[in-house]
């Protein structure tokens, strides 16, 4: 079964909405958002990659060899923010989020947000990449 141009456009629109929404939450609560968001959907799974989103404080800790502190604070933040993150995806897809998982990687600077949605009969596949325009921060002094 082929996907029509209208269906592709609709998928790109809601995937862009997810990427912008998740990046917006990072910007609002960390004071700095990611430079890029790439959002993909395959059937019941949504994955959003947020690039270059670490704050100056986090980058300083990472450069000093203390990436565990960054991982710990990010895990705490994700637990606190789980519902707003779910709300972004549920609002864009009009499907219930069954599970949410989050992880960061320090080199390269990358956050991954993963959502498992309630199943639906029709297969879905799509992707959206966007430069968000967040200015790069200078490297921390080490």
Domain boundaries, the chain: 5-130
Residue pair 48/78 in contact by the 8 Å Cβ criterion: no
Q: What strand order describes the sheet that includes 125-131?
A: 97-105, 110-117, 45-51, 36-42, 125-131
Contact, 128 vs 38, CB < 8 A? yes
**Contact by Cβ (8 Å): 17, 87:** no
Q: Using DSSP, how many helices (H) and how many strands (E) does the chain show?
A: 4, 5
pTM of the model: 0.82
- What does DSSP say about strands 97-105 and 45-51: parallel, antiparallel, or unpaired? unpaired
pLDDT string in tens for the chain (142-residue length) = 455 444 555 667 899 999 999 999 999 999 999 999 999 999 999 999 999 999 999 999 999 999 999 999 999 999 999 999 999 999 999 999 999 999 999 999 999 999 999 998 776 776 777 677 655 555 566 5
Burial per residue of 18-31, b for 16 or more beta-carbon CB atoms within 10 angstroms, e otherwise = bbbbbbebbbeebe
Dist. CA 5–CA 67, nearest whole Å: 44
Q: Using one digit for the tens of pLDDT, what is the confidence trace for 1-34?
A: 455 444 555 667 899 999 999 999 999 999 999 9
73: part of which helix (H) or strand (E)?
Answer: helix 67-80
């Amino acid at each position: 079964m082929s996907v029509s141009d209208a269906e592709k456009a609709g998928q790109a629109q809601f995937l862009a909405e997810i990427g912008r929404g998740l990046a917006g939450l990072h910007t609002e609560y960390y004071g700095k958002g990611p430079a890029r968001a790439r959002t993909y959907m395959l059937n019941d799974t949504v994955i959003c990659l947020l690039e270059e989103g670490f704050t100056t404080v986090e980058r300083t800790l990472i450069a000093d060899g203390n990436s565990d502190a960054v991982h710990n604070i990010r895990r705490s933040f994700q637990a606190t923010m789980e519902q707003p993150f779910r709300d972004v995806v549920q609002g864009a897809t009009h499907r219930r989020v069954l599970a949410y998982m989050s992880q960061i990687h320090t080199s390269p600077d990358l956050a991954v947000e993963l959502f498992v949605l309630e199943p639906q009969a029709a297969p879905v596949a799509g992707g959206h990449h966007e430069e968000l325009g967040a200015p790069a921060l200078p490297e921390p002094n080490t």
